[in-house]
Structure 1
Amino acid sequence: MYSATMDSATPRWGHDQRHLLTLDEAWTTIASEARRAAPQSVDLADAAGLTLARPVVAGSDWPPFDKAMMDGFAVRSDDCATSGATLGIAGLAAAGDATDQTLGPGQAMRINTGAPMPNDADAVVRIEDTGVSDDGATVTINVNVPPKKHVARRGANRRVGDLLLAAPMLIEAHQMAALATAGCARVSVYPRTEAAIVLTGNEIVPVGQSLAPGQIHDSNGPMLASLIRQFGGTPRRVGIVGDEASALREKLADALRSPVVITVGGMSMGTLDLVPKAFTDLGVEWRFHGVSMRPGKPFAYGRGPDGQHVFGLPGNPVSAFVCAWLFVRMTLRALMGHPCKPPHRLRATLTRMIEPKRDPRPAFLPGRFWNHSEAGEIVEPCAWGGSGDPFGLAMANCLIAIDDPTRGAALNESIEVIPITTDL
């Protein structure tokens, strides 16, 4: 493979058709480099959104005692084999009480949901199935009561040593509930990965700053910071740097303090595209430069002197987004404990034909996917003005994957789409 055999010290730089990797080759190369980060122990409150690094087993039975599942009366089922039994009321078992109360023959005890069962009681009768005497001294049981009725037995859900959560597993709200119930004050997780972002180009200025002639606002910085958070990582904005070699080198050296580095712009073959050489001078070994895809052809990937994952993204906002979604995402997620694989795809019926193109590179077009009540899962291409148009992308919730653009895609054809939002 081109990426694996090239001399990284003096890489053959450029992305003409002879040296473009296929998407599968690029994915395979990146996946071969991604390794999970070292686990860390964190407080449970800080674990949400992270990936569990070690399995969690039960340290005690759950429930930890026999407990009532209904408000009513705890009874001995032998006393209530037939309906109509009248029992003396022996007190109250409330949630949070100790379990040292004992129920004698012919007795019943008021009990709340979740309260420990009194000793020798083996069933609960719902309040609705009872009648209390006017003086409150006795209760009549209006149903026959089998053993274990409305009682959760100790260890019914989990026994000591049972597996509670396997690893790796994303810790979301419902996992947090299980971990808290099991008393896990700290858990072993893969930490959030920090990703440094460097924007290059004399024409780029921060959002909020007035534009001089020839300048444009930085769209990629906010977009990438948002994506990194969406992928589960932590963005670090190193800043914007112009096309000046020494200033660029300083920014890139700063960026290499993070385990993942993302640069935007300066990756093509123009006279001011200085990023590749600056990175090489700082010890980055490039695995490949150029992927057969549209948009995103100039995309590059390498490893820093301390193992940093370095991504060179094209400057156009749609190109940068597509490359981040297809390549950066899988690496960040792998470092944080997820499987390292390309984004999943869905199938949908195309609502409008896509014209054939002369360029044979696989294409990714902004689209709008939804589930129609009659037509099923459908996708409509978004109107957009090419890789420099972020407004068409803003209307999309998926990327339409066209493997052979020379053929195009027909109306009502079933095609693949890549979701780019969390609601698909």
Structure 2
Amino acid sequence: MKPLEGLRIISIEQYGAGPYATLHLADLGAEVIKIEDPTSNGDVSRAVIPYAQNNDSLFFQSLNRNKKSISLNLKSNEGREIFERLVKSSDAVFNNLRGDVPEKLKINYNHLKHINPQIVTCSLSGFGTTGEMAKEPAYDYLLQAMNGHMSLTGEPGAPPSKSGISIVDFSTGMMAALGLMVGIFQAKNAGIGSDIDVSLFDTSLSVLNYLAIWHLNKEYEPVRTKHSAHPTLVPSQLFQTKDSYVVVMCNKEKFFPLLCEELGAPELATDKKFSNFQARLDNKEELINQLETIFKTRTSLYWLETLRGKVPIAPVNTVQEALHQPLAMQRDMIVPVDSMNFGTIKMLGTPIKVSSYSPCYKAAPFLGEHNKEIYNELGYEREYEQLKTSGII
């Protein structure tokens, strides 16, 4: 049995953060019914280049596997009636619309509780459903800028830099998936649903975590650090080797003497200037200069073989190298999925491992692929063709 089998989630979603949230729930067996607009080409991510064809794209495939797609005009009276009938048999209604839109579309708990008192509604938006910016759209890049991420990324003296991936979108997607499951758990226990409100703004502030606490309570001013170093733990940073780079992280006191021993410089560990975290931070420049000189004398492979298992160390891989690591296959993180437009696609598997369940991956649906299945189930067999002709579905 699938871990989330029997769970039905209606999702009014598009592009990145929202589909990323429901992707993981669908992988674990939830029935995610994706509502797409029949007056357009559906989810805008179906057309994301460079790999797009026939109203499908590899971008869309990466975020929408294991889901069902129906087309439905929610702004029409007939479409609203169908939507409400679907709500009766569902556990949750999810959306990643602008913060003020769920109320306008009447898809929040207050407007649906008379249909299904246990329904959980979850909104993933840019700035939340409350507050002065609820009506404004937001995107990952903007929030990385707005909430301090870019100010902390990159080398000192260089322009602020964003993360190479949509880290705010994906972090918020994970928070939304968690929030949705919390709401469903509560509804099943209490018999009453609720609104779940998750935003890019809140999440991107939340992940500042300890830096925020340091600033709010001690006026600590975080800054960019050379070679992506940890702000206080020394040495925990990028080191250039003879041929590339490695990251070494001495985040426990026991690792520093081991590092010095393997580097052939045991005297550094007994030097009072480097005897503990605070001493190493106070004398960081002197210590790092010596370590950098040593690391440059050997290749990355040498240091990886020498230090692995003794001191936390990792290579600085390209995306290509990351995806071809043996561990990625051993952990079932590269999986084949058969699709209509792209043949067999290699995709990333779910990172959530459940011992009693082996995931089965199905390609993302084409627009309206599950119309007949869902609408027949709802009792629209006779009206089906008329609904298509009139543009309701």
TM-score interval, normalised by the smaller of the two chains: under 0.3
More strand by percentage: 1
More helix by percentage: 2
RCO greater where, 1 or 2, for CA within 8 Å and sep 6 or more? 2
